[in-house]
Structure 1
Amino acid sequence: MQISSHGINLIREFEGLRTKAYKAHFSEKFFSIGYGHYGPDVKPDDVCTESYATKLLENDLKSFCQKVDKALTADEIEVNQNEFDALISFAYNVGVNALISSTLWQKLKIHDHEGAANQFLRWNKCNGFELPGLTKRREAERKLFLS
Protein backbone atom coordinates (compact mmCIF):
# COMPACT_ATOMS: atom_id res chain seq x y z
CA MET A 1 0.00 0.00 0.00
CA GLN A 2 0.91 3.61 -0.37
CA ILE A 3 -0.03 6.49 1.88
CA SER A 4 -2.86 8.68 0.60
CA SER A 5 -2.82 12.47 0.31
CA HIS A 6 -4.95 12.57 3.48
CA GLY A 7 -2.23 10.71 5.40
CA ILE A 8 0.50 12.91 3.95
CA ASN A 9 -1.40 16.03 4.96
CA LEU A 10 -1.78 14.70 8.50
CA ILE A 11 1.97 14.18 8.76
CA ARG A 12 2.73 17.58 7.26
CA GLU A 13 0.34 19.25 9.70
CA PHE A 14 1.83 17.69 12.81
CA GLU A 15 5.47 17.73 11.75
CA GLY A 16 5.32 21.28 10.48
CA LEU A 17 7.86 22.74 8.07
CA ARG A 18 11.22 23.60 9.59
CA THR A 19 13.74 24.90 7.07
CA LYS A 20 16.65 24.92 9.54
CA ALA A 21 18.07 21.79 11.16
CA TYR A 22 16.81 21.19 14.69
CA LYS A 23 16.57 18.65 17.47
CA ALA A 24 13.01 18.06 18.62
CA HIS A 25 14.44 16.82 21.91
CA PHE A 26 17.94 17.35 23.28
CA SER A 27 18.44 13.60 23.74
CA GLU A 28 18.08 12.82 20.04
CA LYS A 29 21.17 11.48 18.33
CA PHE A 30 20.58 13.23 15.00
CA PHE A 31 19.05 16.44 13.71
CA SER A 32 15.79 16.84 11.78
CA ILE A 33 14.82 19.18 8.95
CA GLY A 34 11.86 19.84 6.68
CA TYR A 35 8.76 17.86 7.62
CA GLY A 36 10.47 15.78 10.28
CA HIS A 37 13.19 14.22 8.12
CA TYR A 38 15.62 12.75 10.67
CA GLY A 39 18.99 11.10 10.36
CA PRO A 40 22.76 11.24 10.08
CA ASP A 41 22.49 13.08 6.76
CA VAL A 42 21.13 16.19 8.53
CA LYS A 43 23.89 18.41 9.86
CA PRO A 44 23.44 21.11 12.56
CA ASP A 45 23.79 24.04 10.12
CA ASP A 46 21.65 22.59 7.30
CA VAL A 47 18.88 24.64 5.72
CA CYS A 48 16.36 23.65 3.07
CA THR A 49 13.58 24.99 0.88
CA GLU A 50 9.96 23.90 1.10
CA SER A 51 10.39 22.10 -2.21
CA TYR A 52 13.36 20.13 -0.92
CA ALA A 53 11.52 19.37 2.33
CA THR A 54 8.67 17.92 0.27
CA LYS A 55 11.10 15.71 -1.66
CA LEU A 56 12.65 14.48 1.59
CA LEU A 57 9.18 13.68 2.94
CA GLU A 58 8.20 11.81 -0.24
CA ASN A 59 11.39 9.72 -0.11
CA ASP A 60 10.99 9.03 3.61
CA LEU A 61 7.37 7.99 3.15
CA LYS A 62 8.26 5.54 0.38
CA SER A 63 10.60 3.79 2.77
CA PHE A 64 8.13 3.84 5.67
CA CYS A 65 5.33 2.51 3.47
CA GLN A 66 7.51 -0.33 2.18
CA LYS A 67 8.60 -1.36 5.67
CA VAL A 68 5.12 -1.20 7.22
CA ASP A 69 3.51 -2.91 4.23
CA LYS A 70 6.10 -5.71 4.42
CA ALA A 71 5.44 -6.18 8.14
CA LEU A 72 1.67 -6.21 7.60
CA THR A 73 2.08 -8.89 4.93
CA ALA A 74 4.44 -10.96 7.06
CA ASP A 75 2.03 -10.89 10.00
CA GLU A 76 -1.02 -11.39 7.74
CA ILE A 77 -2.65 -8.18 8.90
CA GLU A 78 -5.19 -6.53 6.63
CA VAL A 79 -5.90 -2.82 6.97
CA ASN A 80 -7.90 -0.29 4.99
CA GLN A 81 -6.44 2.91 3.56
CA ASN A 82 -7.26 5.08 6.58
CA GLU A 83 -5.79 2.52 8.98
CA PHE A 84 -2.64 2.34 6.85
CA ASP A 85 -2.34 6.14 6.75
CA ALA A 86 -2.65 6.34 10.54
CA LEU A 87 -0.02 3.61 10.98
CA ILE A 88 2.38 5.43 8.67
CA SER A 89 1.90 8.72 10.53
CA PHE A 90 2.54 6.91 13.82
CA ALA A 91 5.60 5.09 12.48
CA TYR A 92 6.97 8.28 10.95
CA ASN A 93 6.89 9.83 14.41
CA VAL A 94 8.06 6.94 16.62
CA GLY A 95 9.78 4.61 14.16
CA VAL A 96 8.82 1.40 12.39
CA ASN A 97 10.51 -0.80 15.00
CA ALA A 98 8.54 0.88 17.80
CA LEU A 99 5.31 0.31 15.85
CA ILE A 100 6.01 -3.35 15.18
CA SER A 101 7.01 -4.06 18.77
CA SER A 102 4.03 -2.20 20.25
CA THR A 103 0.85 -3.46 21.86
CA LEU A 104 -0.95 -1.62 19.06
CA TRP A 105 0.64 -4.04 16.58
CA GLN A 106 -0.11 -7.04 18.78
CA LYS A 107 -3.79 -6.02 18.81
CA LEU A 108 -3.75 -5.80 15.00
CA LYS A 109 -2.28 -9.29 14.78
CA ILE A 110 -5.33 -10.66 16.61
CA HIS A 111 -7.71 -8.54 14.48
CA ASP A 112 -8.65 -6.26 17.40
CA HIS A 113 -8.75 -3.04 15.40
CA GLU A 114 -10.68 -1.10 18.05
CA GLY A 115 -8.18 -2.17 20.71
CA ALA A 116 -5.34 -1.19 18.37
CA ALA A 117 -6.92 2.23 17.82
CA ASN A 118 -7.02 2.86 21.55
CA GLN A 119 -3.29 2.13 21.81
CA PHE A 120 -2.45 5.26 19.80
CA LEU A 121 -3.43 7.35 22.81
CA ARG A 122 -0.77 5.73 25.01
CA TRP A 123 2.05 7.21 22.88
CA ASN A 124 1.76 10.86 23.94
CA LYS A 125 4.73 11.21 26.27
CA CYS A 126 8.38 12.12 26.09
CA ASN A 127 10.56 11.10 29.04
CA GLY A 128 7.40 10.34 31.02
CA PHE A 129 5.78 13.73 30.48
CA GLU A 130 2.64 14.17 28.40
CA LEU A 131 3.09 16.55 25.48
CA PRO A 132 -0.08 18.31 24.27
CA GLY A 133 1.12 18.21 20.65
CA LEU A 134 1.62 14.45 20.82
CA THR A 135 -1.79 14.02 22.44
CA LYS A 136 -3.43 15.92 19.56
CA ARG A 137 -1.50 13.91 16.99
CA ARG A 138 -2.41 10.57 18.58
CA GLU A 139 -6.06 11.59 18.79
CA ALA A 140 -5.99 12.53 15.09
CA GLU A 141 -4.28 9.25 14.16
CA ARG A 142 -6.81 7.26 16.20
CA LYS A 143 -9.72 9.14 14.59
CA LEU A 144 -8.30 8.47 11.11
CA PHE A 145 -7.65 4.83 11.96
CA LEU A 146 -11.29 4.36 13.02
CA SER A 147 -12.80 6.20 10.04
Structure 2
Amino acid sequence: MGMKLSDNGANFIASHEGGFRLSWYKLNDGMMTVGAGHTIPLAEAKRKGIKVGDKITKTQAIKWFEQDCSGFVNGTNRLLNQFGFKVNQNQFDALVSYAYNRGLGSARYDNGLYQLLHHSKSVNDISKNLLVYWGTNTYYTTNPGKVKLLASCNLYTSVEFNDKTKSGLSYPKGTVFTVNGIKKSKNGVPRLIVSNGKFVLTANKEYVKKV
Protein backbone atom coordinates (compact mmCIF):
# COMPACT_ATOMS: atom_id res chain seq x y z
CA MET A 1 0.00 0.00 0.00
CA GLY A 2 1.40 3.38 -1.02
CA MET A 3 1.78 6.59 0.93
CA LYS A 4 -1.06 9.09 1.30
CA LEU A 5 -1.08 12.87 0.96
CA SER A 6 -1.21 14.57 4.38
CA ASP A 7 -3.60 17.40 5.26
CA ASN A 8 -0.61 19.76 5.29
CA GLY A 9 0.32 18.59 1.81
CA ALA A 10 -3.20 19.10 0.49
CA ASN A 11 -3.39 22.59 2.03
CA PHE A 12 -0.03 23.46 0.49
CA ILE A 13 -1.15 22.39 -2.99
CA ALA A 14 -4.42 24.33 -2.70
CA SER A 15 -2.61 27.49 -1.51
CA HIS A 16 0.01 27.07 -4.25
CA GLU A 17 -2.82 27.13 -6.79
CA GLY A 18 -4.17 30.36 -5.26
CA GLY A 19 -6.99 28.76 -3.28
CA PHE A 20 -10.34 27.62 -4.64
CA ARG A 21 -11.44 29.82 -7.52
CA LEU A 22 -15.14 29.44 -8.22
CA SER A 23 -15.19 30.97 -11.72
CA TRP A 24 -13.84 29.31 -14.85
CA TYR A 25 -11.03 31.18 -16.61
CA LYS A 26 -8.71 30.54 -19.55
CA LEU A 27 -4.98 29.87 -19.31
CA ASN A 28 -2.43 30.67 -22.01
CA ASP A 29 -1.83 26.99 -22.84
CA GLY A 30 -5.18 26.14 -24.40
CA MET A 31 -6.77 25.02 -21.14
CA MET A 32 -9.66 26.20 -18.96
CA THR A 33 -9.26 26.05 -15.20
CA VAL A 34 -11.32 26.43 -12.04
CA GLY A 35 -11.10 25.49 -8.36
CA ALA A 36 -7.58 24.67 -7.16
CA GLY A 37 -5.98 24.13 -10.56
CA HIS A 38 -8.57 21.76 -12.05
CA THR A 39 -8.12 22.01 -15.84
CA ILE A 40 -9.81 20.81 -19.02
CA PRO A 41 -8.96 21.51 -22.69
CA LEU A 42 -10.75 24.40 -24.37
CA ALA A 43 -12.35 21.95 -26.83
CA GLU A 44 -13.84 19.96 -23.94
CA ALA A 45 -15.09 23.15 -22.27
CA LYS A 46 -16.78 24.21 -25.52
CA ARG A 47 -18.36 20.78 -25.92
CA LYS A 48 -19.74 20.96 -22.36
CA GLY A 49 -20.96 24.55 -22.78
CA ILE A 50 -18.53 25.95 -20.21
CA LYS A 51 -17.62 29.61 -20.72
CA VAL A 52 -15.16 31.98 -19.04
CA GLY A 53 -16.80 33.38 -15.92
CA ASP A 54 -19.21 30.46 -15.36
CA LYS A 55 -19.50 29.64 -11.65
CA ILE A 56 -19.13 26.41 -9.68
CA THR A 57 -19.80 25.69 -6.01
CA LYS A 58 -17.14 25.33 -3.32
CA THR A 59 -18.34 21.75 -2.82
CA GLN A 60 -17.69 20.95 -6.49
CA ALA A 61 -14.26 22.62 -6.34
CA ILE A 62 -13.26 20.50 -3.35
CA LYS A 63 -14.55 17.31 -4.99
CA TRP A 64 -12.50 17.92 -8.15
CA PHE A 65 -9.44 18.82 -6.07
CA GLU A 66 -9.68 15.55 -4.13
CA GLN A 67 -10.09 13.57 -7.36
CA ASP A 68 -7.13 15.34 -9.00
CA CYS A 69 -4.93 14.81 -5.92
CA SER A 70 -5.81 11.10 -5.86
CA GLY A 71 -4.47 10.63 -9.38
CA PHE A 72 -1.19 12.37 -8.57
CA VAL A 73 -0.80 10.48 -5.28
CA ASN A 74 -1.15 7.17 -7.13
CA GLY A 75 1.23 8.30 -9.85
CA THR A 76 3.83 9.51 -7.34
CA ASN A 77 3.74 6.20 -5.49
CA ARG A 78 4.14 4.33 -8.78
CA LEU A 79 7.16 6.38 -9.85
CA LEU A 80 8.84 6.18 -6.45
CA ASN A 81 8.53 2.40 -6.61
CA GLN A 82 9.78 2.37 -10.20
CA PHE A 83 12.93 4.31 -9.32
CA GLY A 84 13.41 2.66 -5.92
CA PHE A 85 13.21 5.74 -3.67
CA LYS A 86 12.00 5.72 -0.05
CA VAL A 87 10.84 9.13 1.22
CA ASN A 88 9.30 10.55 4.39
CA GLN A 89 5.88 12.23 4.60
CA ASN A 90 7.10 15.78 3.99
CA GLN A 91 9.13 14.65 0.98
CA PHE A 92 6.18 12.70 -0.39
CA ASP A 93 3.89 15.74 -0.03
CA ALA A 94 6.43 17.89 -1.88
CA LEU A 95 6.66 15.40 -4.75
CA VAL A 96 2.88 15.15 -5.10
CA SER A 97 2.75 18.95 -5.18
CA TYR A 98 5.45 18.96 -7.86
CA ALA A 99 3.50 16.44 -9.93
CA TYR A 100 0.27 18.40 -9.46
CA ASN A 101 1.99 21.49 -10.86
CA ARG A 102 4.29 19.98 -13.50
CA GLY A 103 2.63 16.67 -14.30
CA LEU A 104 3.77 13.08 -13.78
CA GLY A 105 5.72 13.07 -17.02
CA SER A 106 7.16 10.05 -18.83
CA ALA A 107 10.32 8.95 -20.61
CA ARG A 108 9.06 10.76 -23.74
CA TYR A 109 8.93 14.24 -22.15
CA ASP A 110 11.50 16.59 -20.61
CA ASN A 111 9.30 17.79 -17.74
CA GLY A 112 7.35 16.25 -14.89
CA LEU A 113 8.01 14.02 -11.90
CA TYR A 114 9.41 11.20 -14.04
CA GLN A 115 12.29 13.41 -15.20
CA LEU A 116 12.96 14.73 -11.68
CA LEU A 117 13.36 11.19 -10.31
CA HIS A 118 15.17 9.92 -13.41
CA HIS A 119 17.89 12.56 -12.98
CA SER A 120 18.28 11.95 -9.24
CA LYS A 121 20.56 9.30 -7.75
CA SER A 122 19.40 9.74 -4.13
CA VAL A 123 16.67 11.37 -2.06
CA ASN A 124 19.08 14.25 -1.39
CA ASP A 125 19.49 14.67 -5.14
CA ILE A 126 15.71 14.88 -5.49
CA SER A 127 15.61 17.82 -3.04
CA LYS A 128 18.38 19.65 -4.89
CA ASN A 129 16.99 18.96 -8.34
CA LEU A 130 13.47 19.95 -7.32
CA LEU A 131 14.65 23.52 -6.81
CA VAL A 132 16.38 23.49 -10.20
CA TYR A 133 13.45 21.97 -12.08
CA TRP A 134 10.72 23.90 -10.29
CA GLY A 135 11.45 26.78 -7.93
CA THR A 136 13.08 29.39 -10.14
CA ASN A 137 10.85 28.71 -13.14
CA THR A 138 7.42 28.83 -11.53
CA TYR A 139 7.59 31.87 -9.23
CA TYR A 140 9.09 35.32 -9.21
CA THR A 141 11.76 35.12 -6.53
CA THR A 142 13.01 38.70 -6.94
CA ASN A 143 10.87 41.84 -7.11
CA PRO A 144 9.54 42.16 -10.70
CA GLY A 145 8.58 45.82 -10.11
CA LYS A 146 5.19 45.70 -11.80
CA VAL A 147 3.07 42.70 -12.79
CA LYS A 148 -0.04 42.21 -14.92
CA LEU A 149 -2.67 39.61 -14.05
CA LEU A 150 -2.97 36.80 -16.60
CA ALA A 151 -6.24 35.69 -14.96
CA SER A 152 -8.63 36.98 -12.32
CA CYS A 153 -6.87 36.86 -8.93
CA ASN A 154 -7.69 37.44 -5.28
CA LEU A 155 -5.66 39.51 -2.85
CA TYR A 156 -4.83 38.17 0.60
CA THR A 157 -4.01 39.74 3.96
CA SER A 158 -1.23 37.23 4.71
CA VAL A 159 1.41 35.20 2.88
CA GLU A 160 -0.50 32.12 4.08
CA PHE A 161 -3.25 31.78 1.45
CA ASN A 162 -6.54 30.35 2.75
CA ASP A 163 -10.20 31.33 3.10
CA LYS A 164 -9.53 33.24 6.33
CA THR A 165 -6.84 35.46 4.76
CA LYS A 166 -8.70 36.08 1.49
CA SER A 167 -9.42 39.81 1.41
CA GLY A 168 -12.58 39.62 -0.67
CA LEU A 169 -10.89 41.82 -3.28
CA SER A 170 -10.72 40.14 -6.70
CA TYR A 171 -9.19 41.83 -9.73
CA PRO A 172 -9.75 40.94 -13.40
CA LYS A 173 -7.24 39.78 -15.98
CA GLY A 174 -5.08 42.67 -17.20
CA THR A 175 -4.95 44.55 -13.88
CA VAL A 176 -1.46 45.95 -13.18
CA PHE A 177 0.06 46.00 -9.69
CA THR A 178 3.17 47.71 -8.36
CA VAL A 179 5.12 45.19 -6.28
CA ASN A 180 6.57 46.55 -3.02
CA GLY A 181 8.51 43.42 -2.13
CA ILE A 182 8.55 39.63 -1.84
CA LYS A 183 7.96 37.47 1.22
CA LYS A 184 7.71 33.69 1.58
CA SER A 185 5.03 31.59 3.24
CA LYS A 186 6.01 29.16 6.00
CA ASN A 187 6.31 26.51 3.28
CA GLY A 188 8.73 28.69 1.30
CA VAL A 189 6.32 29.81 -1.44
CA PRO A 190 7.17 33.34 -2.71
CA ARG A 191 4.39 35.95 -2.48
CA LEU A 192 4.19 39.46 -3.93
CA ILE A 193 3.56 42.34 -1.53
CA VAL A 194 1.32 44.97 -3.16
CA SER A 195 -0.84 47.98 -2.31
CA ASN A 196 1.94 49.59 -0.24
CA GLY A 197 2.25 46.50 1.92
CA LYS A 198 -1.47 46.15 2.70
CA PHE A 199 -2.14 43.03 0.61
CA VAL A 200 -0.45 39.93 -0.80
CA LEU A 201 -0.68 38.56 -4.37
CA THR A 202 0.46 35.26 -5.87
CA ALA A 203 3.96 35.21 -7.41
CA ASN A 204 3.06 32.25 -9.65
CA LYS A 205 4.03 33.04 -13.26
CA GLU A 206 0.92 31.25 -14.51
CA TYR A 207 -1.14 34.08 -13.00
CA VAL A 208 1.11 37.16 -13.11
CA LYS A 209 3.58 38.51 -15.66
CA LYS A 210 6.27 41.18 -15.29
CA VAL A 211 5.54 44.36 -17.28
Q: Same fold (TM over 0.5)?
A: yes
Instruction: Tell which structure's C-alpha radius of gyration is larger.
Output: 2
- Provide, for residues 63-92 of structure 1, a one-character-per-residue CA deviation record: whole Å limited to 9, x for no partner: 111111111112211111111100011110
What amino acid does structure 1 have at the position aligned with 2:114? I
Which residue matches 1:8? 10
Query: Of the two structures, which has the highest relative contact order with CA contacts closer than 8 Å and spacing of 6 or more?
Result: 1
Q: TM-score of the superposition, structure 1-length normalised?
A: 0.76
Which of the numbers 119, 126, 132 marks the counterpart of 1:116? 126
Matched with 2:40 is 39
Question: Which of the two has greater strand per residue?
Answer: 2
Q: In 2, Cα distance between the equivalents of 1:62 and 1:77?
A: 20
Q: Distance in 2 between matches of 1:3 and 1:50?
A: 21
TM-score (norm 2): 0.54
Q: Distance in 1 between matches of 2:92 and 2:56?
A: 29
> CA RMSD, aligned part only?
2.5
**Unaligned 5+ runs, structure 2:** 106-111, 143-182, 190-211
Alpha-carbon shift at residue 99 of structure 1 (Å): 1.4
Cα distance in 1, alignment partners of residues 184 and 68 from structure 2:
23
Number of equivalent positions: 130
Structure with the largest fraction of helix: 1
1:34 partner amino acid: G
Write out per-residue CA displacement over residues 15-69 of structure 1, whole angstroms, 9 at most, x where no aligned residue. 1221111234x2x121111001112355433421111111101000111111111
Check the 8 A contact 1:105/1:116 in 2, yes or no: no
Note if contact 2:83-2:118 (Cα within 8 Å) is conserved in structure 1: no
Written as runs of structure 1 = structure 2, the 5 A alignment for 1:1-147 is 1-15=3-17, 16-24=19-27, 26=28, 28-40=29-41, 42=45, 43-45=50-52, 46-97=54-105, 98-102=112-116, 105-107=118-120, 110-111=121-122, 113-122=123-132, 123=134, 124-125=136-137, 131-132=140-141, 140=188
Listed as ranges, the gaps of 5+ residues in structure 1 are 142-147
Distance (whole Å) between structure 1 residues aligned to residue 140 and residue 65 of structure 2: 24
